[in-house]
Amino acid sequence: MNPYLSMRGITKVYKDMEVPANSNVDFEVKTGEIHALIGENGAGKTTLMKILYGLELPEAGDIYIKDQEVKIHSPLEANRLGIGMVHQHFKLIGDFTVAENIVLGIEPKKNLFFVNREEAIKKVAEVIEKHNFHIDPSTKVSKLTVGQMQQVEIIKMLYRNVDLLVLDEPTSVLTEQEIQRLFETLRYLLTLGKTIIIITHKLNEVMEIASRVSVMRKGVMVATRNIKEVDKKELARLMIGKSVLFQINKEIVACGEPVVELKDVTLYQRGRQTPLLQDLNFSVHSCEILGLAGVGGNGLGELEDILSGLRKISKGKIYHNEENVTNLGAEALRNRGFAYVPADRLNRGSSLTTTVKENLIVSNHHSFLSRGVIKRKMVQDFVDTLQKGFSIDGDPDKPIGTLSGGNIQKVILARELAGKTDFIIFSEPTWGLDIASSQFVYEKILEIRKQGVAVLLISSNLDELLSLADRIIVLYKGRIVANRINDDTLDNEGVGEYMLGLRDDFARKGDNHGE
């Protein structure tokens, strides 16, 4: 049978980039299959799909839909050809309703200029009904859960009658349960005769949902395989060209004294009745990796802010080595040996337009002063040492934004691990990083654990969390609902249940579960 989609000889070069984003890429998708497009960051998969969706124009190459050559210059044209895309970062307007978001750009009109609201809601409701989603078209998008927002994106495409649906890293923001729901939806769409391309770097999911997989590396299409013919190891090898082993062998290290302790920590926000964090009681010990799990919006971000001194708590106490450090600011905490590798690398963890050098010294620039003036030689020596120690590739006098994602994270790591630290927070440390950089990060985390540092690891990657952590706590609606040793009785599903409020080890009698 002829392929549904055929892209041939696609080449795309971005200005200022040395390696072409796409280099003579051939890509074929059969009707009615789920085809995974995988590759490391920067491999060119998103670029290829952007070209398919009309968001970019290639320097060379052709696209064929059902053997007809097509030229796609804009998403509108792509839609007309039956191609739809669900982006990694949702393209939704929070203040608008579901219906408004879905019809935006092709609004049903009355009297030429006016949007026919009733018609829009009716038509959107029809589509929602037909495909068994359960979303009210009149709700504001900002009030939906992340999983529901993604559903709106999918409905947006179904509303436009697409036959080929491309999803870009769709699971990076979903919980386990939401991921399963998504896969159900995708399988359902197949029964309608749709064809699906899913861009991802999560090999587990590829093995679970796809029927065929294409691998890209450094802008080149490396291979296409049937899922039945490969395993994760083979795919990983194709992705990075070398052999990779997946095991992280953790030594059992004797646990030490509590370094950081939280007692009854509560955080209110002005104007809201329910506290963002409620009665938190836990501690992080030296030589321990404490894993923290939870769905976004349940208090993890706030806990991160508090423990790094960026936010004050309303009630309770925080202790560091038995001394009260409640509500001391970031500067004071850093002087005491707190370090912090934030999830938000680009805004919080670094300043993209500033040089690598200046990024490296932000938390300890005081130590380079002599009479108020920054000593340049001292800074240079410091930077050189770190660059070697962490194998950072890049010119230290260039803006850090010119470095690859992996190297930026290394700069942040280098900086945070440079001083005398006894407590460090890692938040989503390997999000978006390629396998090699992730390995590097895991190495470092285990290394400092062995050196006696207390580590708080916040991650939405449950595989990562369960491989590294000695103990796991889960936050749900601002409360701790689990505080368990990470042993064989705990698995992804189990943690997922806590994350969704389906299980609560600390519930008091009379509490409602899973509100």
Residue among 403, 413, 465, 466 that touches other proteins (CB under 8 A): 403
Q: Which of 37, 34, 44 is nearest to 12 (CA)?
A: 44
Burial class (CB within 10 angstroms; exposed 0-12, middle 13-18, buried 19+) of 31: middle
Cβ–Cβ under 8 Å, residues 280 and 474: no
- Per CB under 8 A, the segment of 180-188, 264-272, 418-426, 504-512 that binds other proteins is 264-272
Cα gap 11→151, rounded to integer Å: 32
Q: Which is nearer to other proteins, 76 or 507 (CB)?
A: 76
Task: Tell me the closest approach of the beta carbon of residue 302 to other proteins, in angstroms.
Answer: 9
Question: In the complex, what is the shortest distance from the CB of residue 487 to other proteins, in angstroms, rounded to a whole number?
Answer: 21
Answer yes or no whether residue 42 interacts with other proteins by CB under 8 A.
yes
1-30 footprint of other proteins as x/- string (CB under 8 A): -------------xxxxxx-----------
319 binds other proteins (CB under 8 A): no
- The yes or no reply on residue 362 touching other proteins (CB under 8 A) is yes
Sites for other proteins among residues 186-225 (CB under 8 A): none
- Shortest approach of other proteins to residue 184 CB, angstroms? 25
* Residue with Cβ nearer other proteins (242 or 508): 242
Please compute, for residue 148, the number of CA atoms within 13 A of its CA located in the half-sphere on the CB side. Answer: 16
Binding mask 99-138 for other proteins (x = CB under 8 A): -xx--xx-x-x---xxx-----------------------
CA distance 341 to 427: 6
Piece of the chain touching other proteins by CB under 8 A; list 122-130, 278-286, 366-374, 419-427: 366-374
User: 254 vs 373, which CB is nearer to other proteins?
Assistant: 373
Residue 142 found at the interface with other proteins (CB under 8 A): no
Number of residues that bind other proteins (CB under 8 A): 110
> Residue 57 interacts with other proteins (CB under 8 A)?
no
CA atoms within 13 Å, Cβ hemisphere of 457: 31
Q: Which stretch binds other proteins (CB under 8 A): 30-38, 238-246, 417-425, 457-465?
A: 238-246
CB of 458 to other proteins, least distance (A): 15
User: Rounded to whole angstroms, what are the CA distances from 29 to 33, 174, 202, 415, 459?
Assistant: 7, 26, 20, 45, 34
Least distance from other proteins to the Cβ atom of residue 376, Å: 8
Cα end-to-end distance, the chain, whole Å = 50
Binder to other proteins among 391, 502, 505, 511 (CB under 8 A)?
391
312 contacts other proteins (rule: CB under 8 A) = yes
Question: Cα–Cα distance between 141 and 509 in angstroms, integer?
Answer: 34
CA 110/CA 88 separation, integer angstroms: 34
In the range 460-499, which residues lie near other proteins by CB under 8 A?
A: none
Rounded Cα distance, 77 and 56, in Å: 12
Q: How far apart are CA 454 and CA 422, in angstroms?
A: 6
* Gap between the Cα atoms of 377 and 384, Å rounded: 11
- Binding residue for other proteins, selected from 67, 229, 252, 270, defined by CB under 8 A: 270
Q: Tokens 């509560």 sit at which residue? A: 266
271: left (phi over 0), alpha (psi -120 to 50) or beta: left
Closest to other proteins by CB, 68 or 243: 243
Instruction: Verify binding: residue 146, other proteins, rule CB under 8 A.
Output: no
Give whichever of 201 and 212 is closer to other proteins, judged by the CB atom. 201
377 part of the interface to other proteins, by CB under 8 A: no
Say whether residue 143 binds other proteins (CB under 8 A).
Answer: no
Query: 214 and 39 in contact (C-beta within 8 Å)?
Result: no
Comparing CB distances to other proteins, the nearer of 195 and 409 is 409
Query: Strand, coil or helix: what is 240?
Result: helix
Q: Three-state SS for 394?
A: coil
The backbone torsions φ and ψ at residue 304, rounded to the nearest 5 degrees and listed phi first, read -60, -50
Structure letter (DSSP) for residue 224: E
If the CB atoms of residues 190 and 325 are measured against other proteins, the closer one turns out to be 325
Q: Which of 442, 452, 483, 484 binds other proteins (CB under 8 A)?
A: 442
